[in-house]
Structure 1
Amino acid sequence: MTTLEEISSIEDEKLILPPDVNPSALRDAFVELVHTVGAENLQIITSDRIMPDGQGDYFNLPKEHDLFYAMDKNTFLASAIVAPGSVEETSTIVKVANKYLVPLWPVSRGRNLGYGGAAPRIRGSIVVDLGIRMNRVLNVDPKNATALLEPGVSYFDLHNHLQKNGIHHLWIDNPDLGGGSVLGNTLERGAGYTPYGEHFSMHCGLEVVLPNGEIIRTGMGALPGNNTWQLFQYGYGPYHDGIFTQSNLGIVTKMGVWLMPDPGGYQAYHFSFPRDDDLPAIVEVIRDLRLKMIIQNAPTIRNALLDAAVYGPKSQYTSSTEVLTEEEVGEIASKISVGHWNVYGALYGPKPLRDLQWEIVRTAFLTIPGATYRFPEEVDKSSGLSIIHMRDETLKGLPNTYELGWLNWRGPGGSLLGFSPISPTTGEDANKQYQMVKKRFTQFGFDYMGTFVVGWRELHHIVCLTFDKTNPTERRNAHRCISLLIDDAAREGYGEYRTHLCFMDQIASVYNWNGNALLKFNETLKDALDPNGIMAPGKSGIWPARFRGRGFEIVPEEPKL
């Protein structure tokens, strides 16, 4: 809460000033924001009001800086956090930002773990926290299986709303952690694990506040009195929804989403494979089954250490602080009853259909020597949930937070950087990526933890680099390791689909076909829609004209190796 008296009493040197904004202008902006949202919905961040290390966690995230900072803690630091309660208040906030040239950084719930959290790309930006007050499920249509959501609705919230209102025949699809925003994850082009796991494909209709404060609705929402906004994605004319994903062209305040009808039956399964070099064969099997839609969802191929980290830190398994060898990983896999690689998937539909699918799936995977399988029902729960039970919940759309265990692999100070390249779904490409990442991780002293997720035709390689943020050497090593991997991947034709704040410029620079034609197009859109450059400058490496070329980009400091 920030009163008008407090605004006037803050010393100039304690303010976190954005570029081109002096203390007087920033204070005037704060005053107007208090009049817009109320004193209780504006929090000013000063140099002596930054959440100390050790206090923040997934359930109590700092909104002014990245919980898992890889660079200096104050590199990505907000000047304030404002919480609008409506689209109209959001529009007014944008107009105030234009008046004083104060950059904004909109977030839904700020739980973009491994990619920057709620922290703004430009120091001194005002974080627009849409999750605190704009958190309603506005509508659910049980017959057509749709919902209309505000940004603050988490996967837990949506699931609980359906259960509370007796809408048990509709499922949701959630990523590994259920506390994030449904809208936010979709706009970042995140994914889940049921047949509805491609989240952007399952959205339908947006309401957006543009950088000038104007409010638009996309698709059928542009037709007054329409009754199909959440039913038909495209409407009439050019399709715009995509330009508001991973972008800085507006603030999305409402989103429609398609829900999954109960398929009439469900069965999760786990295949384990004993050898490190089984990966290529696993990918080849899955590609064939996925293309034929015998496997209906997005199966995961998880490394043993990713499963191990869910149960506990590295010290629980070994006294070694060195990078684990293949043999040591195998020993840990045996302790927790998993393979070196593990496929978690599910069958959806009535039992006769599942039986047919299962016979094909089982036969295909068992062509790999040493492969075994099991079902969740066969694993005892009396001593606690095992990883197969945890994945079982996720595969049927039950939100949870089991995967937070990853963060503790290296012990106290545990932090996460995500590295997420895309490749063709071939065994050769999967192995090339795996070896590429392992080589760099070993070079910098990190254990490989990752999973391959097979989408429609592409292979997502989700790599989890865990490090101790309180150790400056580990922070530098983690940052340098990912930076080098970005270039390693680009040389092989692999591009990341999502990244942390500190790598946005570097990744944008490798998507450079035809003289950076795509970036130039994005800059043209940015300058046309946001001439004052106030909307999330630097997001996805896209800078407005007034910031461009002034040294705000973050590029690798050392020669590429």
Structure 2
Amino acid sequence: MTTAAVPPNLSSGHFWLGAGNGAKNGAPAQQQQQQDVEVPKILPPGVTQAGFSKFARRVIQAVGGDENFTVITADCDFEGYEDDDFGRNCRTHDYYRSFDDECELVGSALCHPRSVQDIQAVLAACNETKVPVWPISTGRNLAYGGSAPRVPGSLVMILSTHMNRILHLDETACVCIVEPGVTFMQMSDYLRDRGLLDKIRVDSSGLGWGSMIGNALDRGGGASLYGDRWGKHSGMEVVLPNGEVARMGMGAIQDPEGRKQAEQGVHPADQKLNECFALFPYGWGPMNDGLFSQGNAGIVTKMGFWLMPAPQGMTPFSVTFEREADLAALVDCIQPLDLNGTLQSSVSLRNLTLEAAHYGPRSSYTNASHKEVIPEEDFEKMAKKLNTGRWRYIGAVFGSDKVRAALIEDIKKELTKVPGSKWATLDECPGEQNLVRVRATYLQGISSMGEFAWMKQWLPNCSVIMVAAISRLEGKAVWEQYSLAKELFAKAGIDYISHYVAYFRTMHNVCIIPYDRKDKDMRGRAQWLGRTLIKEWKARGWSVFRTHVGLMDQVADAYDFNNGALWKMHEEIHDTLDPNGILAPGRGGVWPKCYDKDAWVMGKKYIG
């Protein structure tokens, strides 16, 4: 590859960069005198304070000034974010401190690029200095690590501050193209402000401030007909580690006007998008979109989405089930309805603990200490107090009155076959805070913030790690996985909060591990539980589809067929695209060859 000490003009959209030297573990920075850049709490791996100062000045120039660059110093406010209402976003660290006892996942600085050109200039600086960069959209990623970089001392690149435009909305085709900072709430408000909610809706979740692009890239799921967000993306623009701008799918076909713009020297990122960018996701030839999902092969700067045509009507419903052991029978009732399309919204099945957490703190239900799980007799009292069973299914059907009536008839007939089950309509679930009503808001494609309020009240300093496992969509398989998880939660002395969601032909068991982050003992038990769940699932041939950044190495290890051939392939591809290993090293358990993987992995004693 041709190399150049100074990259070409930014307008070319392409840099040629040389390979780098090996990186070593980051370490806390020592205060040095007479530096014009503040000393970070943790320096980038192998970088001195003098080198960091030089790098920082270059990044400041790249992003347009000091206002778009902040050093994360040792005296930063690391607690001020903790007890808010989720409105203030923490970009400096994982505010749940989930794995701080093992490795403090804190960056060296934050930068806020204004454009693709800024991103290219920052990448050029990172390639030259070998400083790793950790791109985030809004950086929320609640319970999965937030904005925390996998490599301490990384430069955290926040895309949402400036790159937050809705670039295109096609009312006829119901598609949009957005930048990384566009949130579900922003898109919902955009449609409302233009009087379009009677035509178009956006799949959302209980936390509407999340990034549409960020959540899709992490393969998050929603509640509506369009809940498979990654599956509903079409087209993306990506900045590769060497600074080159590439467009996927139909975006790789130059629009005629875009060709003229290219001849006039317009930057690639500013050239007109192909009119089918967001309409047809495949294009022609190998499909490389997946490299950028839960991966570290590039920085996604534009993405197209299919939006949901506003339904003619929606009928929410709820079904409760009396006994814990009803889970297997319930899943067997769900399976055929899910496969044949009768269940239109994503299956949302919640255990009693998750239901109870929505309505009050743990202390309002039990006197059990935080070192033990809630006893069975208190569960019985909880169920009676809340007028619910041990499980609640919340769903909805969409369409005309006749279509919805027919679907409801079939669903009610099947789900109420389980003895003791109770069917309820929205009218039978009064009160604004009723969980069925809260969930009904975004089942119809209108963003809300209500469902996760429980995270602020269940425990003092309540924090959460989520580990989402997969099983067959069959009662026996789901019960086996549930029973194992319940046993391990009990060993950890932590209440088992479970949310089951059916996707495709599997059941996703989202295990929610609550703990008091300021209680070191409980935090340690939560860490043990997350790692032990993954280890035991691996032994049974199960694994995880989404997890905390501190657990990524262990989850990657579970994909071990043929000595981990798939992850070897991931890393070979990454090394080709990113020979200096600067872009999100360790994300998804994918490590560049210039890092000593054995030295960097977290959870070593649980791996292998």
Shorter-chain TM-score: what band?
over 0.9
Residue 347 (1) aligns with residue 374 (2): no
Cα distance per residue 1:23-81 (max 9 Å; x no partner): 22211111111111121010111122242266564221321110111222771011000
Listed as ranges, the matches of 1:161-310 within 5 Å are 161-168=190-197, 169-225=199-255, 226-310=274-358
Cα distance per residue 1:160-209 (max 9 Å; x no partner): 00111121210111133211111100000010011111111100101101
Gaps of 5+ in 2: 1-32, 256-273
Residue 70 (1) aligns with residue 98 (2): yes
Listed as ranges, the matches of 1:459-474 within 5 Å are 459-474=507-522
CA contact (8 A) 2:237 2:245 kept: yes
Decide whether aligned partners of structure 1 residues 406 and 529 sit closer, same or farther in structure 2, where only a CA change above 3 A counts.
same
**Greater displacement, 21-30 / 184-193:** 21-30
CA contact (8 A) 1:61 1:67 kept: no
CA distance in 1, matches of 2:349, 2:376: 17
Q: Which residue number in structure 2 is paired with residue 59 of structure 1?
A: 87
Q: Secondary structure at the match of 1:461?
A: strand
CA deviation after TM superposition for structure 1 residue 248, in Å: 0.6
Among candidates 380, 399, 413, match of residue 330 of structure 1: 380
Q: Which residue number in structure 1 is paired with residue 146 of structure 2?
A: 117
CA contact (8 A) 1:15 1:46 kept: yes
Among candidates 545, 553, 563, match of residue 497 of structure 1: 545
CA deviation after TM superposition for structure 1 residue 330, in Å: 2.9
CA contact (8 A) 1:300 1:345 kept: yes
Decide whether aligned partners of structure 1 residues 294 and 69 sit closer, same or farther in structure 2, where only a CA change above 3 A counts.
same
Listed as ranges, the matches of 1:122-133 within 5 Å are 122-133=151-162
CA deviation after TM superposition for structure 1 residue 409, in Å: 4.9
Decide whether aligned partners of structure 1 residues 11 and 253 sit closer, same or farther in structure 2, where only a CA change above 3 A counts.
closer
Residue 36 (1) aligns with residue 48 (2): no
Listed as ranges, the matches of 1:310-389 within 5 Å are 310-321=358-369, 322-381=372-431, 384-389=432-437
Question: Amino acid of the residue matched to residue 152 of structure 1?
Answer: G
Q: Which residue number in structure 2 is paired with residue 97 of structure 1?
A: 126
Question: Amino acid of the residue matched to residue 144 of structure 2?
Answer: Y
CA deviation after TM superposition for structure 1 residue 334, in Å: 2.1
**Greater displacement, 115-124 / 392-401:** 392-401
CA distance in 1, matches of 2:246, 2:607: 45
CA contact (8 A) 2:366 2:374 kept: no
Identity %: 35
CA distance in 2, matches of 1:7, 1:313: 50
CA deviation after TM superposition for structure 1 residue 412, in Å: 2.0
**Greater displacement, 397-406 / 299-308:** 397-406
CA deviation after TM superposition for structure 1 residue 358, in Å: 1.1
Q: Which residue number in structure 2 is paired with residue 529 of structure 1?
A: 577
Decide whether aligned partners of structure 1 residues 286 and 55 sit closer, same or farther in structure 2, where only a CA change above 3 A counts.
closer
CA distance in 2, matches of 1:267, 1:549: 51
* TM-score relative to the length of structure 1: 0.95
CA deviation after TM superposition for structure 1 residue 337, in Å: 2.2
Gaps of 5+ in 1: 1-5
Q: Which residue number in structure 2 is paired with residue 135 of structure 1?
A: 164
* RMSD (CA atoms): 1.7
Cα distance per residue 1:503-558 (max 9 Å; x no partner): 11111111100111011101101110000000000001111011133511112447
Cα distance per residue 1:200-255 (max 9 Å; x no partner): 11001011010111111101111111210000001121111111000011110111
Among candidates 588, 591, 604, match of residue 543 of structure 1: 591
Cα distance per residue 1:276-327 (max 9 Å; x no partner): 0000011111111010111122111110111111122101222222311334
CA deviation after TM superposition for structure 1 residue 128, in Å: 0.4
CA contact (8 A) 2:81 2:89 kept: no
Cα distance per residue 1:382-407 (max 9 Å; x no partner): xx421111111121122222233332
Decide whether aligned partners of structure 1 residues 54 and 111 sit closer, same or farther in structure 2, where only a CA change above 3 A counts.
closer
Question: Amino acid of the residue matched to residue 496 of structure 1?
Answer: V
Q: Secondary structure at the match of 1:269?
A: strand
CA contact (8 A) 1:243 1:249 kept: yes
* TM-score relative to the length of structure 2: 0.88
Q: Which residue number in structure 2 is paired with residue 3 of structure 1?
A: none
CA contact (8 A) 2:83 2:456 kept: no
Listed as ranges, the matches of 1:372-411 within 5 Å are 372-381=422-431, 384-411=432-459
CA contact (8 A) 1:78 1:124 kept: yes
Q: Secondary structure at the match of 1:49?
A: coil
Cα distance per residue 1:140-166 (max 9 Å; x no partner): 100000011111111110100011112
Question: Amino acid of the residue matched to residue 369 of structure 1?
Answer: P
Question: Amino acid of the residue matched to residue 420 of structure 2?
Answer: G
CA distance in 2, matches of 1:290, 1:315: 37
Q: Secondary structure at the match of 2:134?
A: strand
Q: Secondary structure at the match of 1:551?
A: helix
Aligned residues: 552
CA distance in 2, matches of 1:553, 1:28: 29
Among candidates 61, 68, 75, match of residue 48 of structure 1: 75
CA contact (8 A) 2:38 2:71 kept: no
Q: Secondary structure at the match of 1:420?
A: strand
Residue 511 (1) aligns with residue 559 (2): yes
Question: Amino acid of the residue matched to residue 55 of structure 2?
Answer: A
Q: Secondary structure at the match of 1:276?
A: coil
Cα distance per residue 1:481-513 (max 9 Å; x no partner): 111110111122211001111111111111100
